[in-house]
A and B are shown apart, each in its own frame.
Chain A
């Protein structure tokens, strides 16, 4: 990657630059190998071979069978497919039954406590997710009138609460492997144990998009029945993702048409992007340990420096001990800080002027930052959450970028605090 030495791109949780290997692998499919894989002729078969080679690769990297890999447009689609797919499973012909359709439109955000109580009395809530899910999961779950489970102050799911919510009627539990704002890792193995004990019939889905560059996703998610992935979070192209759905997990498709992906996801394959997905995944997984080690040092340097130089900063998702900051629950690329008395919008504006590109909470369609539901779930006050700054490092982040961020952030925070005083 060519890097502009005057700027620091620290927004890898939003998206990452395409790696050269993926770009190279994709190139022929924009050119001579352009055919539609669903055709019968040689050119079509050639394109289909590329899609299926990519499928084999993804299966191998994430400990799945090729037939368990459903290619789609990205993680939001994969998440929707998992949630709506499980909620509507068993419905022939893809037409929602009467009552189901009503529920889809009429349910809103009811009081969690009520729903938990109600759920417990009838054998558990049907659709459950953590309160810190990406909107790709959270919005479908809310539309279905599902139940959310809280997190502790470190941003880790409350297993006690989860065990109270689930039961014999639970159809789906969706918990992300790594949170996109805080970088906090969720205990999937423990969740799976809980499900095996209290809701063995439930399907366990995990959105693993933020994890691929940093964690052994295959190991962490080995007991999940469904896994969402998207290429652009690990240096693949935008527009390609996959839902890994274990054999035997019955789910209803979202998109009907030409029968592609064994009738689980219709639509012409985005061949180049699928090829790029596999190429990027291979690089991410094979370089993972080395990358994570190098980047975690840069991240520690960044977090430690900012906390040492700037007063009134809270680092989220960590445990402060006498020996230092314990960041073992976070992925290597995540530095998430809250600056008291600062508004992140203003901070990001100043940082942009210094060439530092970062983020705060999650941005909505208008480009405005919305108050973070993740920080709220962690019990961080709205006031403090307004000063949140997400610096997400990538596998190509350099020391020079970290140095620039370390230089730019303290004076920017100082300027805003002075103006507010």
Chain B
């Protein structure tokens, strides 16, 4: 009898939470040769996330329960270099970074993937709520997880074919409730463990400001209105985020004012009324279309949790107006590359809040597939013409 083909070897990244625990269990049921690893990324204070000793213990005990070999990889240096330091630098530049995106880009889906490959694993799995779909031409697309409330495809937008090809997201087809139910059925101890929230290296008690204080200088700045009237002062322009309403040193204003622009270089925060926070178009400098430009209306998500909005992606500086002349069709890859270099913008169906530079923006088509992702690179200062008349 010919020997049975060996099972695919998969390295599952276990954070100690319920999703990755169930991911490991599912892969095992599906006949993979499963090995678990927990990444140690952050040695400082943490509420939860993926690095505390208790989370490693949870992951290890779940692996023990499943009969899966468990290891710990310390990627602390890489995490500091690629996630924590840039997080500080981005704030210094007056942007609002998304460290989870950078962690996925550089740690989980680069460093870990390369480590897995060096150790002869065929695949890497995580407990992210996201799905993979294959197109007729055989390419992989990233889709939202079945559970819309828990979908994490937003923080995975940067994954390319080469990475997607070696990834599995076993819980993407399940709702969170199903994941927890499965965990209970399998006797997994993390079945009722609360979801992790927010940035793993920022504690709720300490907050972002206390984290950044010893790591960077803050610049005091003035707060001005859209027509450049000085209204107040802030101690740290670097801590102001677009859309922020509180802690702007404003009092006695007749209406609520929001940060609509942060110019860290000049140390100026511009505030405006709600309708000045809104804009009809949002520039997005560099874009990476997954499979060429898409002219149809897309669902645009610009924060990890919370609402998304509808809009079109159009090239700017080509005389296309916000009311929506059709996007020039791309006839070849060369055309697409050419267009990519010209800069793009989102044309909102209804005006949306300005998006802070540094934030990721992810575009979904009607089938919930990601067709485009990018990072807001530029400020979007208020010019009267960009505000839609009410």
Residues of A participating in the B interface, judged by any CB pair closer than 8 Å: 343, 345-346, 349-350, 365-371, 382, 386, 415-416, 419-420
Contacts and interface: CB of A to CB of B under 8 A. Distances in A.
A368 B120 CA distance: 21
Contact of B118 (A368, A370, A386, A420): A420
Given A419-B114, A419-B118, A345 B77 contact: no
B40 A346 contact: no
A367 B60 contact: yes
Interface stretch (B66-74, B173-181, B280-288, B311-319): B66-74
B1 interface: no
Given A349-B119, A350-B119, A368 B73 contact: yes
B53 interface: yes
B119 A368 contact: no
A351 to B, nearest CB: 11
Interface string B353-372: 00000000000000000000
A367 B72 contact: yes
Contact of A415 (B51, B53, B60, B118): B118
B74 A419 contact: no
A371 B77 contact: yes
B114 A368 contact: no
Nearest to B71: A349
Interface residues of B, number: 20
Contact of A346 (B56, B76, B77, B119): B119
Contacts of A416: 118
25 contacts: A345-B73, A346-B118, A346-B119, A349-B71, A349-B119, A366-B38, A366-B51, A366-B56, A366-B57, A366-B72, A367-B56, A367-B60, A367-B72, A368-B56, A368-B73, A368-B74, A368-B76, A369-B74, A370-B74, A371-B77, A382-B77, A386-B77, A415-B118, A419-B118, A420-B118
A257 B219 CA distance: 56
Contact of A345 (B60, B74, B114, B117): B74
Nearest to B40: A368
Contacts of A420: 118
A369 B73 CA distance: 8
A279 B57 CA distance: 35
Interface in B111-165: 114-115, 117-120
B234 to A, nearest CB: 31
Given A346-B115, A346-B118, A419-B114, A368 B72 contact: yes
A1 B56 CA distance: 33
Given A345-B74, A349-B71, A371-B77, A365 B53 contact: yes
A20 to B, nearest CB: 30
Best-surrounded residue of B38, B40, B118, B120 (most CB of chain A within 10 A) = B118
A208 B379 CA distance: 62
A343 B119 CA distance: 11
B117 A419 contact: yes
B90 to A, nearest CB: 25
Among B51, B57, B71, max chain A CB count under 10 A is at B71
Contacts of B38: 366
Interface string B42-63: 0000000001110011001000
